[in-house]
Amino acid sequence: MVSRVIPVDTFDLVIFGGTGDLARRKILPGLFRRFIAGQMPGDSRVIGAARSDMGDDDYRQLVREAISEFGGQEKSDTANLDAFLGQLHYVQVDATGDGGWSDLSDLMRPDVVRAFYFSVAPSLFGALAERLHNHGIADRHSRIVVEKPLGRDLDGARALNQTLAEHFHEGQIYRIDHYLGKETVQNLMAVRFGNVLFEPLWNNHYVDHIQITVAETVGVGGRGAYYDKSGAMRDMVQNHLMQLVCLIAMEPPGQFEADAVRDEKLKVIRALQSVPAHHIVRGQYEATETEPSYREDADNPRSFTESFIAMRCEIANWRWAGVPFYLRTGKKMRARSSEIAVVFKDLGHSIFEGDVARHRNILSIRLQPNEGIDLQVTIKEPGPGGMRLVDVPLDLTFAEALGEDAEEVPDAYERLIMDVIRGNQTLFMRGDEVEAAWAWTDPIINAWEERSDVPKLYEPGSTGPEDSQMLLHREGRRWRDIKA
Ligand code: NAP
């Protein structure tokens, strides 16, 4: 298959926090891959901005090392790397002070796309927005990029939205949830809305339930103190899992366009029912002989913060009434594995003699580690021996068809940054979506805090507390395996 990479318009991308972890780990290696793919015009520039005192050459060296540490195969492409680094600049600037802003202003060019990635703590967003405005660096066509945490409750999210709205209109604000940038997540929309097969079945008449699992093997480790103020509900469910629920549950938008898609997602969030306490299981990982417990990692011996959560949600609308959405996410789980599974109902009656198995069609969308979509179908076991039925996965992934070009599939950050430059907000969260998600999350968290809810302990390397199995067992269902 021929690669169809279309270069974006020439841009100046300023990364505030261009020396930080997110920039070095994700943003800069991602930009380099887009450069190699031919998508970044040769006269575009990436400008790192932070308080550290360094020049362009120091910054290029920092980025060279970041790509060597965090890049994939592309890091051996030294010729391209030198050319890419040549497009990098650095400006010393303090978000909360006045130094450096006129240097940045001088560097910016007219008539190119201007984008500003706020890869700094959210407490600095307001100061950055104000200075970009006051120094005339951002105009009505400029874009800003922000990402989680977008508040830690509804009030915080509203305050953040208001702060950004003082200087930027909604069409300029790109709120990243990198789950939306994943190839498979977009393929899910193509499978749903590009085929006649699925849409008639996509409702409570044919779907038994939905499972969404995001399991990590790592603990909270070095970021324990930060994580302890957040927990799995705030860190994962309110944003990433919620976005996945939206894409599964939303009505078909009139067209694949930013506000049409986001209007439908918003309706899903608003239709989410409040979740009773007995439909939620919270967990904290224990210590092993060699590794610390969650509380030790968080350096908080009395922490009630959850490193695991499983919950049963319902969406109150005609399409989904009565269909459970089971969500589960945790640290130190058996395997690193993220998956959405749409489990269709049983046949009800089998015409095949002796066939007692419970055959089910399951559409499974794997987000990591191996992105892909497959549909479990029931077929005849090949060979003689009568009509024996087996369930097999039908691979709906394009990777094989793409052959050698498969490696060119951009990762989530690359794709989303290019969408920012293109001015396409379809895969970004709108402010009202974020607020609606917090409006659903807040009462759940407040209830835990009011009754000092203590998470159940679970063994590292397991599937979470035993009670999470019960959440499904008592309804005659079971979680899918967590496997890499
Ligand atoms: P980090 O490693 O602590 O980096 C922070 C960056 O901000 C540094 O470049 C720092 O450089 C700069 N900075 C700090 N204070 C500044 C100021 N007053 N003016 C200008 N620059 C300043 O943090 P990070 O992990 O990259 O995270 C950045 C943001 O992304 C945070 O909001 C985080 O929650 C979010 N995020 C990060 C990840 C991730 O994987 N790391 C994932 C999702 C979301 P100087 O000290 O030189 O100024």
Q: What is the 3-state secondary structure (H, E, C) of 188-238?
A: HHHHHHCCCCCHHHCCCCCEEEEEEEEECCCCCHHHHHHHHCCHHHHHHHH
Which residues are designated catalytic?
Answer: 240
pLDDT digits (tens, 9 = 90+) for 55-77: 999 999 999 999 999 988 888 89
Determine the distance separating the centroid of ligand 1 and the alpha carbon of 160, expressed in angstroms. 17
* Cβ of 17 below 6 Å from ligand 1: yes
pLDDT at 402: 57
CB distance 442 to 52 below 8 Å? no
pLDDT at 404: 47
pLDDT band at 242; cut points 50, 70, 90:
very high
pLDDT band at 387; cut points 50, 70, 90:
confident
* Cβ of 121 below 6 Å from ligand 1: yes
- C-alpha span between 282 and 284 (Å, rounded): 7
* Cβ of 147 below 6 Å from ligand 1: yes
Residues 6 or more apart in contact with residue 173 via CB below 8 angstroms: 143, 144, 146, 164, 431
Report the residue among 47, 96, 120, 239 best suited for mutation to probe ligand 1: largest number of ligand atoms under 8 A from its CB. 120
pLDDT at 408: 57
What distances in angstroms separate CA 309 from CA 248, 324, 327, 466, one per listed residue?
A: 20, 16, 8, 12
Domains by residue range for the chain, with CATH: 11-147 (3.40.50.720), 180-417+455-473 (3.30.360.10)
Determine the distance separating the centroid of ligand 1 and the alpha carbon of 19, expressed in angstroms. 8
pLDDT digits (tens, 9 = 90+) for 340-382: 999 999 988 888 877 767 789 999 999 988 888 999 999 998 8
pLDDT digits (tens, 9 = 90+) for 434-463: 999 999 999 999 999 999 999 999 999 999
Mean pLDDT of the chain: 93
pLDDT at 352: 84
Q: Tell me 41's DSSP state.
A: -
pLDDT at 75: 84
Residues 6 or more apart in contact with residue 157 via CB below 8 angstroms: 150, 151, 434, 435, 438
pLDDT at 384: 86
* Bridge partners, 114 (sequence order): 12
pLDDT digits (tens, 9 = 90+) for 458-474: 999 999 999 999 999 99
Residue 65 tokens read as 């090392």
Closest-lying ligand 1 atom to the alpha carbon of residue 122: 32
